Amino acid sequence: MTDTDSIVEIQQLAARYALAVDSRDLDGLVGLFVPDVKVGRAGVGRDALRSWYEAGLRTVGATIHFVGGHVVDLDGSTATGVVYCREEVEDPARGEWRLGVLQYWDDYRQVEGSWLFARRQVRRWYSADARSGPSRGAGLRPGERALPEAFENWADWES
Protein backbone atom coordinates (compact mmCIF):
# COMPACT_ATOMS: atom_id res chain seq x y z
CA MET A 1 0.00 0.00 0.00
CA THR A 2 1.41 3.39 -0.98
CA ASP A 3 1.37 6.41 1.32
CA THR A 4 -1.34 7.94 -0.87
CA ASP A 5 -3.47 4.79 -0.55
CA SER A 6 -3.01 4.84 3.22
CA ILE A 7 -4.00 8.49 3.47
CA VAL A 8 -7.14 7.95 1.38
CA GLU A 9 -8.10 4.91 3.49
CA ILE A 10 -7.58 6.87 6.71
CA GLN A 11 -9.60 9.81 5.39
CA GLN A 12 -12.42 7.40 4.54
CA LEU A 13 -12.47 6.36 8.20
CA ALA A 14 -13.69 9.84 9.15
CA ALA A 15 -16.47 9.76 6.55
CA ARG A 16 -17.46 6.22 7.54
CA TYR A 17 -17.49 7.26 11.20
CA ALA A 18 -19.88 10.15 10.47
CA LEU A 19 -22.18 7.90 8.46
CA ALA A 20 -22.15 5.17 11.10
CA VAL A 21 -22.93 7.61 13.94
CA ASP A 22 -25.66 9.42 12.01
CA SER A 23 -27.30 6.16 10.86
CA ARG A 24 -26.79 4.50 14.27
CA ASP A 25 -24.89 1.60 12.70
CA LEU A 26 -23.15 0.60 15.92
CA ASP A 27 -21.62 -2.57 14.47
CA GLY A 28 -20.14 -0.58 11.61
CA LEU A 29 -19.03 2.13 13.99
CA VAL A 30 -17.08 -0.08 16.39
CA GLY A 31 -15.60 -1.97 13.43
CA LEU A 32 -13.73 1.24 12.54
CA PHE A 33 -11.67 0.93 15.73
CA VAL A 34 -8.82 -1.39 16.68
CA PRO A 35 -9.98 -4.51 18.57
CA ASP A 36 -8.15 -3.43 21.75
CA VAL A 37 -9.48 0.15 21.77
CA LYS A 38 -9.36 1.79 25.20
CA VAL A 39 -12.72 3.24 26.24
CA GLY A 40 -11.71 5.33 29.23
CA ARG A 41 -13.28 4.06 32.43
CA ALA A 42 -15.74 1.95 30.40
CA GLY A 43 -13.07 -0.67 29.65
CA VAL A 44 -11.26 -2.03 26.64
CA GLY A 45 -12.45 -3.47 23.36
CA ARG A 46 -15.21 -3.07 20.84
CA ASP A 47 -17.96 -4.39 23.15
CA ALA A 48 -17.14 -1.69 25.70
CA LEU A 49 -16.99 0.89 22.91
CA ARG A 50 -20.37 -0.20 21.57
CA SER A 51 -21.94 0.16 25.02
CA TRP A 52 -20.37 3.59 25.45
CA TYR A 53 -21.66 4.86 22.10
CA GLU A 54 -25.09 3.33 22.58
CA ALA A 55 -25.52 5.03 25.96
CA GLY A 56 -24.40 8.39 24.60
CA LEU A 57 -26.41 8.28 21.40
CA ARG A 58 -29.60 7.38 23.28
CA THR A 59 -29.42 10.80 24.97
CA VAL A 60 -29.85 12.67 21.67
CA GLY A 61 -32.11 12.54 18.64
CA ALA A 62 -30.88 12.76 15.08
CA THR A 63 -27.30 13.80 14.39
CA ILE A 64 -25.60 15.20 11.32
CA HIS A 65 -21.80 15.14 11.04
CA PHE A 66 -20.33 17.04 8.10
CA VAL A 67 -16.66 16.11 7.70
CA GLY A 68 -14.33 18.79 6.37
CA GLY A 69 -10.56 19.01 6.05
CA HIS A 70 -8.48 16.05 7.20
CA VAL A 71 -4.72 16.17 7.72
CA VAL A 72 -2.90 12.84 8.08
CA ASP A 73 0.71 12.21 9.13
CA LEU A 74 1.98 8.68 8.48
CA ASP A 75 4.64 6.88 10.50
CA GLY A 76 4.91 3.31 9.24
CA SER A 77 1.95 1.30 10.51
CA THR A 78 0.71 4.14 12.72
CA ALA A 79 -0.51 7.63 11.90
CA THR A 80 -2.05 10.71 13.45
CA GLY A 81 -4.61 13.09 12.04
CA VAL A 82 -6.83 16.09 12.63
CA VAL A 83 -10.35 16.13 11.16
CA TYR A 84 -12.63 19.18 11.02
CA CYS A 85 -16.33 18.53 11.54
CA ARG A 86 -19.54 20.53 11.73
CA GLU A 87 -22.19 18.77 13.76
CA GLU A 88 -25.89 19.23 14.27
CA VAL A 89 -27.47 17.37 17.17
CA GLU A 90 -31.17 17.15 17.94
CA ASP A 91 -32.02 17.58 21.63
CA PRO A 92 -35.53 16.12 21.98
CA ALA A 93 -35.74 16.97 25.69
CA ARG A 94 -35.39 20.68 24.90
CA GLY A 95 -37.06 20.60 21.51
CA GLU A 96 -34.05 22.21 19.85
CA TRP A 97 -31.01 21.56 17.72
CA ARG A 98 -27.43 22.26 18.79
CA LEU A 99 -24.89 23.35 16.20
CA GLY A 100 -21.19 22.87 16.71
CA VAL A 101 -17.81 22.91 15.08
CA LEU A 102 -15.15 20.57 16.32
CA GLN A 103 -11.99 18.72 15.51
CA TYR A 104 -11.21 15.07 16.03
CA TRP A 105 -7.60 14.48 17.05
CA ASP A 106 -6.98 10.91 15.95
CA ASP A 107 -4.45 8.13 16.30
CA TYR A 108 -4.61 5.38 13.69
CA ARG A 109 -3.10 1.92 13.50
CA GLN A 110 -2.84 -0.53 10.66
CA VAL A 111 -4.26 -3.93 11.65
CA GLU A 112 -4.07 -6.85 9.21
CA GLY A 113 -3.60 -4.43 6.31
CA SER A 114 -6.49 -2.09 7.22
CA TRP A 115 -6.30 1.33 8.84
CA LEU A 116 -8.42 1.75 11.97
CA PHE A 117 -8.91 4.30 14.72
CA ALA A 118 -6.74 3.59 17.75
CA ARG A 119 -8.02 6.71 19.55
CA ARG A 120 -10.34 9.67 18.86
CA GLN A 121 -10.35 12.84 20.94
CA VAL A 122 -12.96 15.54 20.37
CA ARG A 123 -11.89 19.18 20.63
CA ARG A 124 -14.69 21.74 20.30
CA TRP A 125 -14.66 25.22 18.88
CA TYR A 126 -18.22 25.64 20.15
CA SER A 127 -21.63 24.07 20.59
CA ALA A 128 -24.73 26.27 20.68
CA ASP A 129 -28.49 26.32 20.33
CA ALA A 130 -29.22 26.78 16.63
CA ARG A 131 -31.40 29.81 17.41
CA SER A 132 -28.90 31.70 19.58
CA GLY A 133 -25.64 31.15 17.70
CA PRO A 134 -22.21 30.13 18.96
CA SER A 135 -20.65 31.03 22.26
CA ARG A 136 -16.96 30.27 22.56
CA GLY A 137 -16.37 27.24 24.75
CA ALA A 138 -20.07 26.51 25.24
CA GLY A 139 -21.00 22.84 25.56
CA LEU A 140 -17.63 21.68 26.88
CA ARG A 141 -17.42 18.71 29.20
CA PRO A 142 -15.67 19.15 32.57
CA GLY A 143 -11.91 19.31 32.06
CA GLU A 144 -12.19 19.68 28.28
CA ARG A 145 -10.14 22.50 26.77
CA ALA A 146 -11.89 24.56 24.11
CA LEU A 147 -10.37 25.34 20.78
CA PRO A 148 -8.39 27.37 19.95
CA GLU A 149 -6.78 27.25 23.45
CA ALA A 150 -6.23 23.48 23.16
CA PHE A 151 -3.66 24.01 20.39
CA GLU A 152 -0.14 23.71 21.81
CA ASN A 153 1.11 26.93 20.20
CA TRP A 154 -1.98 29.07 20.96
CA ALA A 155 -0.55 30.61 24.14
CA ASP A 156 2.55 31.73 22.22
CA TRP A 157 0.33 33.23 19.52
CA GLU A 158 -1.67 35.32 21.98
CA SER A 159 1.39 36.64 23.85
pLDDT digits (tens, 9 = 90+) for 41-78: 889 999 999 999 999 999 998 899 999 999 999 999 99
* pTM exceeds cut of 0.75: yes
Tell me, letter by letter, the H, E, C secondary structure of the chain: CCHHHHHHHHHHHHHHHHHHHHHCCHHHHHCCECCCCECHHHCECHHHHHHHHHHHHCCCCCEEEEEEEEEEEEECCEEEEEEEEEEEEEECCCCEEEEEEEEEEEEEEEECCEEEEEEEEEEEEEEEECCCCCCCCCCCCCCCCCCCCCCCCHHHHHC
Q: Work out the end-to-end distance of the chain between its first and last CA atoms, rounded to an integer number of angstroms.
A: 44
Does position 2 have pLDDT exceeding 60, yes or no?
Answer: yes
pLDDT of amino acid 128? 84
Domain ranges of the chain: 3-158
Q: Report the C-alpha gap between 113 and 128 in whole angstroms.
A: 40
Domain covering 3-158 assigned CATH 3.10.450.50 in the classification:
yes
Q: How confident is the model at residue 137 (pLDDT cuts 50, 70, 90)?
A: low
